[in-house]
Amino acid sequence: MLAPRAILAAALACLLFPHSACAENIVFAAWNVRNYMLRPVISDEGRTLTPAKKPESIEAVVATLRKIEPDILGLSEMGSRRDLKDLQKRLRAAGVDLPHATWVDGADKERHLALLSRFHLAKVDHQTRSAFLLGGQKRPVQRGFLDCVIEVSPGVSLRILGAHLKSRRVVPEFDQAEFRRSESLLLRKHVEGILAADPRTPLLLFGDFNDTKNSAVVKGILGRPRSKTALTLLPLFDRQGDQWTYRWEESDEYSRVDFIMVSEALRPMIQRRGTRIHREPRWFEASDHRPLVVTLRVAAKSKP
229-259 pLDDT, tens digit each: 999 999 999 999 999 999 998 889 999 999 9
Contact 42, 48 (CB under 8 A): yes
The chain-wide mean pLDDT, for the chain, equals 91
Domains of the chain: residue spans and CATH: 25-299 (3.60.10.10)
Q: What SS3 state is found at 85?
A: helix
Q: How distant, in Å, are the alpha carbons of 198, 242, 282, 300 from that of 16?
A: 34, 44, 45, 15
pLDDT at 7: 46
- All residues at 6 or more sequence positions from 157 whose CB lies less than 8 Å from its CB, including other chains: 122, 149, 150, 151, 202
- Distance, in Å, from the CA atom of 56 to the CA atom of 124, rounded to the nearest integer, reads 33
User: pLDDT category, 15, cuts 50, 70, 90?
Assistant: very low
**Whether residue 11 has pLDDT greater than 80:** no
Q: If we measure between CA atoms, which residue out of 279, 278, 276 comes closest to residue 295? A: 276
**Whether residue 160 has pLDDT greater than 50:** yes
Q: How many CB atoms lie within 10 A of CB 244?
A: 15
User: pLDDT category, 43, cuts 50, 70, 90?
Assistant: confident
- All residues at 6 or more sequence positions from 258 whose CB lies less than 8 Å from its CB, including other chains: 30, 32, 206, 207, 208, 209, 245, 246, 289, 290, 292
pLDDT at 170: 75
User: pLDDT category, 174, cuts 50, 70, 90?
Assistant: confident
